[in-house]
Chains A and B, each alone.
Chain A
Amino acid sequence: MTKNILEVKGLKTYYRTRLKEQVFAVDGVDFVLEEGKTLGIAGESGCGKSTLALSLMGFYFPPLHYQSGSIVINGIDIMKLKKEELRSKILGREIAYIPQAAMNALNPTLKIIRFIEDMMKVHRPELSKKQVWEMAAERFETLNLSPNVLNSFPNELSGGMKQRTVIAISTILNPKVLIADEPTSALDVSSQKVVIKLLKDLLDKQFIKSLVFITHELPLLYHVTDDIMVMYAGEIVERGTSHEMIFDSIHPYTKKLMGSIIVPEEGMKGHKLSAIPGAPPNLKNVPAGCRFSDRCSYATDACMTGKVESKMVDDRTYRCLYDVEILKEWYAHE
Chain B
Amino acid sequence: MSSNRESFMHGKQLTKVFGFGQQKVTAVQAVDFDFHRGEIISIVGESGSGKTTLAKMIMGLLKESSGTIEYKGKTRQLKRHAERKAYWKDIQAIFQDPFASFNMFHKVEKLLLDCIKLQGLQLTKDERFAKMKEACSFVNLKFEELYNKYPFELSGGQMQRLMIARIFMLHPKVLIADEPTSMVDACSRSTILDMLLKLRDENNMTIIFITHDVGLAYYISDTIYIMEKGKIVERGTAEEVILSPQHPYTKQLIADVPKIHEAWNLG
Contact = CB atoms under 8 A, between A and B. Distances in A.
Contacts of A1: none
A271 B186 contact: no
A260 B215 contact: no
A96 B69 CA distance: 52
A222 B260 contact: yes
B266 A196 contact: yes
B34 interface: no
B150 interface: no
Contacts of A192: 256
Given A188-B46, A275-B191, A193 B218 contact: no
Given A190-B256, A265-B259, A265-B260, A260 B190 contact: yes
Contact of A274 (B47, B185, B190): B190
A266 B47 CA distance: 26
Contact of B258 (A46, A223, A256, A274): A223
B260 to A, nearest CB: 5
B218 A197 contact: no
A219 B188 CA distance: 16
A262 B185 CA distance: 12
B257 A264 contact: yes
Contacts of A269: 218-219, 238-239
A183 B218 CA distance: 25
A196 B257 CA distance: 12
B170 interface: no
Given A216-B185, A275-B190, A276-B187, A268 B219 contact: yes
Contacts of B258: 217, 219-220, 222-223, 263
Nearest to A258: B260
A44 B242 CA distance: 28
A189 B253 contact: yes
A191 B257 CA distance: 11
Most buried by A among B47, B185, B218, B238: B185
Contacts of B188: 44-45
Most buried by B among A188, A189, A200: A189
B126 interface: no
Interface string B233-260: 0000011001100000000111011111
B215 A263 contact: yes
Interface string A243-282: 0001000000000110111111110110101111101000
Contacts of B184: 45
A196 B264 CA distance: 11
Contacts of A45: 155-157, 184-185, 188
B257 A263 contact: yes
Contacts of B187: 44, 216, 256-257, 260, 275-276
Task: Report whether over half of chain B's contact residues are helix, strand or loop; otherwise say mixed.
Answer: helix
Given A217-B186, A269-B219, A264 B47 contact: no
Interface in A180-225: 188-193, 196-197, 200, 216-220, 222-223
A154 to B, nearest CB: 17
A261 B187 CA distance: 9
A246 B185 contact: no
Interface residues of B toward A: which range? 35 or more
A200 B261 CA distance: 20
B77 interface: no
B248 to A, nearest CB: 13
Interface in B144-165: 155-158
Interface string B80-112: 000000000000000000000000000000000
Nearest to B214: A264
A279 B155 contact: yes
Given A189-B257, A219-B259, A200 B218 contact: no
B213 interface: yes
B243 A266 contact: yes
Contacts of B266: 193, 196-197, 200
B114 interface: no
Given A45-B155, A197-B266, A273-B193, A262 B216 contact: yes
A197 to B, nearest CB: 5
A159 interface: yes
Contacts of B191: 275
Nearest to A200: B266
Contacts of A263: 215, 257-261
Contacts of B238: 269
A191 B189 CA distance: 21
Given A193-B256, A217-B258, A268-B215, 20 more contacts: A44-B185, A45-B156, A159-B47, A189-B212, A189-B253, A190-B46, A190-B253, A192-B256, A217-B186, A223-B258, A260-B189, A262-B189, A263-B259, A264-B217, A265-B259, A268-B219, A273-B219, A275-B187, A275-B190, A279-B158
Interface of B: 46-47, 140, 155-158, 184-191, 193-194, 212-219, 238-239, 242-243, 252-254, 256-262, 264, 266
12 contacts: A44-B185, A45-B184, A45-B185, A188-B212, A189-B256, A190-B253, A197-B266, A218-B186, A219-B257, A219-B260, A262-B189, A265-B259
| Top 8 closest pairs, chain A to chain B, by CB | A273-B190, A188-B212, A219-B258, A216-B185, A260-B190, A275-B191, A189-B256, A223-B264
